[in-house]
């Protein structure tokens, strides 16, 4: 029996999807592949409410984050930082020699649109990076509202990491003015790790034309050239693409996008209620994530001991706090294909272990 992952990525993958990885391989320069690629485009565009192409990255999400800042910044990038992954994005920009500044907000506070407006009014920036759902803190930043602010600035691109949110909660790429919306598949998509996807706007491609080339593999123009032929630049992770096709069909044609988002809201609400009853929730109210809850360890329990017992006796795994929050908080992932019943089962088990009544 395997350990069930209630971690905020990687997440549990259904056997049907794992089986897709064992499909006979196809060649990536064939008509059969182009058909697969086109099908993925149709479904991914539906999921993201966009007309933009959605590129496939044979890398984890970090590769797509790197592509965003190396292709999308000519003048200077504003990195909005309120957690570990948004901080990483700043470091990625820095280490690639991309001109950038960070603006820091306390990790339990959301990025507010007014702050973004104030920073952009300096006229120094032509791109903004933001993490929609900070997996490290269980914070969901106000994506739509920040997008509204950025729309007021004509030449500023909006680069969004939606890694642990995409396929779990609504993201309207075109309406909300998102130029790049990226995610790895091992979070709310509930697929194995190793592939990332990102929608890319015309504005971003135009910017990439003007930027000094910093990469071949993560060069969006190279990727676009192949996209136009319904192909990828290099050999993609073909097994993952089969699994992605199956999962997108299940999400869109069988469960329904709206139902999927509703199920995530219900799971989140249930975990939040439990957390408030027995512990507390780390981020400020009003911005709690719909896919992961970061629970303050107000009872001073041993999180490693709790996890050990969960894994050894019940084959369930949750996550400790991230970075500085280790020991001070723990995280429960309620994303992907888990149901409310699964989440109830986990919380009943934790109550049992901790003798909570």
Ligand X SMILES: *Cc1c(COP(=O)(O)O)cnc(C)c1O
Q: Is 237 in the site for ligand X (CB under 6 A)?
A: no
Closest approach of ligand X to the CB of residue 54, in Å:
17
Closest C-alpha to 271, from 326, 319, 208: 319
Q: Does 333 bind ligand X (CB under 6 A)?
A: no
Query: Strands across the sheet with 329-333, in order?
Result: 280-281, 292-296, 329-333, 319-320
Specify the DSSP class assigned to residue 191: -
Tally the residues of the chain: 357
* Residue 26, CB-side half-sphere exposure with 13 Å CA sphere: 17
Residue 138 as a binder of ligand X (CB under 6 A): the answer is no
Half-sphere exposure of 186 (CA within 13 A, CB side): 15
Smallest distance, ligand X to C-beta of residue 237, A? 13
167 binding ligand X? (CB under 6 A):
no
Choice between 23 and 60, CB closer to ligand X: 60
- Binding flags for ligand X, 83-122, as an x/- string (CB under 6 A): --x-------------------------------------
131 is a site residue for ligand X (CB under 6 A):
yes
Cα–Cα distance measured from residue 72 to residue 93, given in angstroms and rounded to the nearest whole number: 11
Minimum CB distance to ligand X, residue 183 (Å): 8
Closer to ligand X at the Cβ: 61 or 82? Answer: 61
Looking at beta carbons only, is 131 or 267 nearer to ligand X?
A: 131
Q: List helix spans (H) across 73-218.
A: 84-95, 113-120, 143-151, 202-210
Residue 62 contacts ligand X per CB under 6 A: yes
* Block residue for tokens 């990625």: 92
331 is in an annotated binding site: yes
Applying CB under 6 A, the span of 16-24, 56-64, 117-125, 332-340 interacting with ligand X comes to: 56-64
Alpha-carbon gap, residue 114 to 182, rounded angstroms: 24
How far apart are CB 65 and ligand X at their closest, in Å?
A: 7
In the complex with ligand X, the residue whose CB is nearer, 147 or 192, is 192
Using CA atoms, how far apart are residues 283 and 98, in angstroms rounded to an integer? 30
Task: Report phi then psi at 89, rounded to 5.
Answer: -65, -40
Return the residue of 12, 66, 126, 161 that touches ligand X, per CB under 6 A: 161
- Return residues touching ligand X (CB under 6 A): 9, 60-62, 85, 131, 133, 135, 161, 163-164, 184, 187
């Amino acid at each position: 029996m395997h350990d069930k992952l209630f971690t905020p990525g990687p997440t549990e993958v259904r056997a049907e999807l794992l089986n897709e990885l064992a499909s006979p391989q196809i060649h990536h320069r064939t008509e059969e592949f182009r058909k697969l690629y086109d099908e993925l485009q149709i479904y991914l565009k539906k999921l993201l409410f966009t007309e933009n192409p959605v590129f496939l990255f044979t890398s984890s999400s970090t590769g797509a984050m790197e592509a965003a800042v190396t292709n999308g910044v000519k003048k200077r990038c504003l990195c909005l930082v309120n957690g570990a992954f948004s901080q990483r994005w700043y470091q990625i920009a820095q280490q690639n020699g991309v001109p950038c500044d960070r603006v820091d907000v306390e990790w339990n506070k959301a990025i507010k649109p007014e702050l973004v407006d104030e920073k952009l009014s300096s006229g120094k920036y032509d791109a903004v990076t933001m993490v929609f759902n900070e997996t490290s803190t269980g914070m969901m930043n106000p994506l739509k509202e920040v997008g509204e602010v950025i729309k007021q600035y004509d030449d500023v691109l909006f680069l969004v990491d939606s890694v642990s949110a995409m396929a779990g909660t609504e993201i309207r790429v075109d309406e909300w003015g998102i130029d790049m919306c990226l995610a790895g598949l091992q979070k709310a998509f509930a697929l194995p790790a190793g592939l990332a996807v990102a929608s890319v706007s015309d504005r971003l491609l135009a910017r990439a034309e003007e930027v000094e080339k910093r990469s071949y593999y993560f060069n969006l123009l190279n990727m676009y050239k192949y996209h136009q032929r319904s192909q990828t630049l290099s050999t993609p992770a073909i097994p993952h693409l089969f699994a992605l096709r199956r999962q997108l069909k299940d999400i869109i044609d069988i469960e329904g996008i709206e139902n999927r988002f509703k199920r995530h809201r219900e799971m989140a609400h249930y975990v939040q209620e439990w957390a408030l009853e027995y512990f507390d929730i780390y981020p400020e109210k009003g911005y709690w994530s719909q896919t992961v809850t970061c629970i303050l360890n107000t009872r001073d329990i041993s999180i490693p001991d709790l996890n050990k017992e969960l894994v050894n006796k019940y084959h369930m795994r949750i996550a400790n706090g991230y970075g500085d929050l280790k020991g001070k908080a723990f995280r429960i992932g309620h994303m992907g294909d888990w149901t409310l019943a699964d989440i109830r089962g986990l919380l009943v088990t934790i109550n049992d272990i901790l003798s909570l009544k």
